[in-house]
């Protein structure tokens, strides 16, 4: 999935990526907005910045995110 800036997403699962930390477990189910996608080459392996509603802005692996239907 290529995430765009401003796209609404859901953290739908934990990630096994090393960028996932245990405190992020509580973000599963949270909705948010992509605020900084991979800014150079749309690399699916890069972490992307997501603002989660009520839970702050975090850089998360892309495999735990899915777009919300708008």
Q: Which residues bind another protein (CB under 8 A)?
A: 1-2, 4-6, 8, 18-19, 21, 23, 26, 31, 33, 35-47, 49, 51, 53-57, 59, 68
End-to-end CA distance of the chain: 16
Nearest distance, CB of residue 48 and another protein, angstroms: 10
Strands 8-11 and 65-67: antiparallel
Closest CA to 9 of 42, 45, 37, 39: 37
Nearest distance, CB of residue 46 and another protein, angstroms: 6
Nearest distance, CB of residue 7 and another protein, angstroms: 10
């Amino acid at each position: 999935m290529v995430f765009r800036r401003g796209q609404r997403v859901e953290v739908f699962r934990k990630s096994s990526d090393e960028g996932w930390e245990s405190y992020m477990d509580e973000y599963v189910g949270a909705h948010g907005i992509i605020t900084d996608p991979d800014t150079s080459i749309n690399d699916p392996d890069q972490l992307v910045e997501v603002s989660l509603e009520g839970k702050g802005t975090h850089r998360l692996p892309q495999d735990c995110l899915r777009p919300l239907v708008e």
